[in-house]
Amino acid sequence: MSESPAAPASADEALLITGPAGRIEAAFDLPETDTTPQPVLAIVCHPLPTEGGSMHNKVVTMAARALRESGIATLRFNFRGVGQSEGSFDDGRGELDDLRAVAAWARAAHPDKTLWLAGFSFGAWVALRGAVELGAGALILIAPPVGRGWSFDDVAIPAIPWLVIQGEADEIVDAGAVFDWVARLPRPPVLVKMPDTSHFFHRKLIDLRGAVKHGVREWLPVPPAA
CATH of residue 190's domain is: 3.40.50.1820
Within-domain flag for 44 = yes
- Give the global pTM: 0.94
End-to-end CA distance of the chain: 37
DSSP letters, the chain, are: ----SSPPSSSSEEEEEEETTEEEEEEEEPPPTTS---SEEEEEE-S-GGGT--TT-HHHHHHHHHHHTTT-EEEEEPPTTSTT--S---TTHHHHHHHHHHHHHHHHH-TTSEEEEEEETHHHHHHHHHHTTTT-S-EEEES--TTTTS--TTSPPPSS-EEEEEETT-SSS-HHHHHHHHHH-SSPPEEEEETT--TT-TT-HHHHHHHHHHHHGGG-SSPPP-
What's the distance, CA 51 to chain centroid?
Answer: 18
pLDDT single digits (tens) 85-135: 999 999 999 999 999 999 999 999 999 999 999 999 999 999 999 999 999
pLDDT single digits (tens) 120-131: 999 999 999 999
Radius of gyration of the chain (CA): 16
Within-domain flag for 2 = no
The answer on pLDDT for 77 being more than 70 is yes
Let me know how long the chain is.
Answer: 226
Within-domain flag for 125 = yes
Within-domain flag for 4 = no
Within-domain flag for 5 = no
Residue 188's domain comprises 13-219
Write phi, then psi, for 168 (nearest 5 degrees).
-80, -15
* Dihedral angle computed from the Cα positions of residues 107, 110, 116 and 121, in that order, rounded to the nearest 10 degrees: -80
Determine the pLDDT at residue 1: 44
Within-domain flag for 6 = no
Mean pLDDT of all residues in 159-180: 97
Mean pLDDT of all residues in 137-149: 95
Within-domain flag for 43 = yes
* Number of domains forming the structure of the chain: 1
Within-domain flag for 3 = no
